[in-house]
Structure 1
Amino acid sequence: MDKDLSCGEDVEDLSEFITDDIGYRNTQVFWDLVRCPIPTRACNKSVKTSIRAALGELGLYTCVGITAYGGSMNHSKDDLRNAGIFHEPQGELVADLILYARTWGKPRNLMVIPKPDQDSELHRVLKC
């Protein structure tokens, strides 16, 4: 029996995009550090491990990169890079997300880590 995870919202059926190879497509993570910051006491390597574990639980096994956007941080850029997280302090998450989705010919998976804001440009783009 399938669980209804829609929370009462009108949810588009995307099942036509789910194929047998979805777990082995490249997955890129886009992370909004302004609205969803790294906890002060968190170890950067454990953050990366947690993100990859969450992807694995979703059946997505090929994470090619994690890019964190914006904000001042309690962690140094070098610490993030050493943990395998690329930081774009002045980057445009929405623009990069669109560029990534349109540039690559092969089907890919995108994971976006935002704090939900129904009125944001990011929310509008993700619904497209």
Structure 2
Amino acid sequence: IAEHQYERAKTIVLWDTKECKIPYGLDAGDVSKNIKTALEHTGYTGRVSIMATGDAKDDFCCHEISLNHFPAGERDARLKKVIADLMEDPAPWNLLLIVKDIPVDVGVAVDSENCNLLVATPEYPSGLLLCMASCSRLTLVGVKFSQLCAPFAAAKTDVFWDIDDCPIPDDLDPEMISQNIRSALKDKAYLGEVSISAYGDTNQIQGEFCSAGITPIHVPAGETSARVRIMVKLVGWALDNPGSNLMLIVQDISRNSAYMEALHFVRRRNCKLLIAQPQDASGHLLRMVSTEWRWSSLSYGGKPITQSERKSKVKDSVEY
């Protein structure tokens, strides 16, 4: 989240297009739009200017991206000069570096009290970039470039949580669950607004849900299950929220044909599906969701199931 003095300050983006190529299926305009939206949702609402380095591309200028061609062998020196020129501005400002790494002398050039450093790299930051975060007054935000410019990175995420299927662990409370879910989403670069709705027998701790920023939807015991209430809600939600992220926290729904049809409709509305369950997802559901958590991990803010695990499960389900 942006610090107060930098919230409305200008942000200069320096993007090395040779090291951080435009992801497949996107163009320069998509990347520009998604970077600006992600910055806004992270709290940086000031004017954004993008300067790209690399081979000339006609479509860059069409999307208000200034292109600088740095000859081979001159990249570091040119980058240092550009940063030094920018440092002459005494007002607070933000610098987003989209690079693989930066040499020491360039890092020294960035070290200024009025500059707030943000970084997106092809992989997670290491070396000098991490050192600068711990040893200087600069703020380092480590997000992979492919995640930052993904179409869904800045989109809203709505969380539908069945508290009967996935109850609150004994050592946690609604406030902690809310914080942990939001933290886990941010770690996967879902940077947009997060809304959480809890379905089930919420009467006992309704006040705790509300104070935690969670909307309680009371489903009395013995009536239609919370899971079914969520399924009914999905269709209307997808109609109203195309292009958003949907997280389901429910028991296994892979064998529920009505539920799967509802999720197919959600996907047809260009929505991205995330899921957390007490057990691993299975069957066709595996191929529908983009990110999968075990509830025992997500509830504590943990990491999702790895891509290698997911690929192995998909292969096993096909062979089965």
State the TM-score, normalized to the length of structure 1. 0.72
Mapped partners of 2:154, 2:263: distance in 1: 22
1:19-78 deviation line (CA, Å, top 9, x unaligned): 7331100111011112111123312211001100111122111233100111357x5101
Q: Which 4+ stretches in 1 moved above 2 angstroms?
A: 18-21, 117-128
State the TM-score, normalized to the length of structure 2. 0.31
Higher helix share: 2
**Relative contact order, higher structure (CA 8 A, sep 6+):** 1
Q: Which residue of 2 aligns with 1:80?
A: 209
* Uncovered stretches (5+) of structure 1, i.e. residues with no partner: 1-14
Pick from 244, 251, 257 the counterpart of residue 115 of structure 1: 251
Mapped partners of 2:163, 2:264: distance in 1: 21
Would you say how many aligned residue pairs link Structure 1 and Structure 2?
111
Letter in 2 for 1:38: I
Letter in 2 for 1:60: Y
Q: Report if the CA contact (8 A) 2:198-2:215 is conserved.
A: yes
Pick from 161, 165, 178 the counterpart of residue 48 of structure 1: 178
- Secondary structure of 2:207's counterpart equals helix
- Identical positions, percent: 25
Q: Which residue of 1 aligns with 2:277?
A: none
Q: Does the C-alpha gap of structure 1 residues 76 and 126 become closer, same or farther in structure 2, counting only changes over 3 Å?
A: same
Larger radius of gyration between Structure 1 and Structure 2: 2
Within 5 Å, give how 1:15-94 maps onto structure 2.
20-71=150-201, 76-90=205-219, 92-94=229-231
Letter in 1 for 2:255: D
Q: CA RMSD in A?
A: 2.5
Letter in 2 for 1:54: A
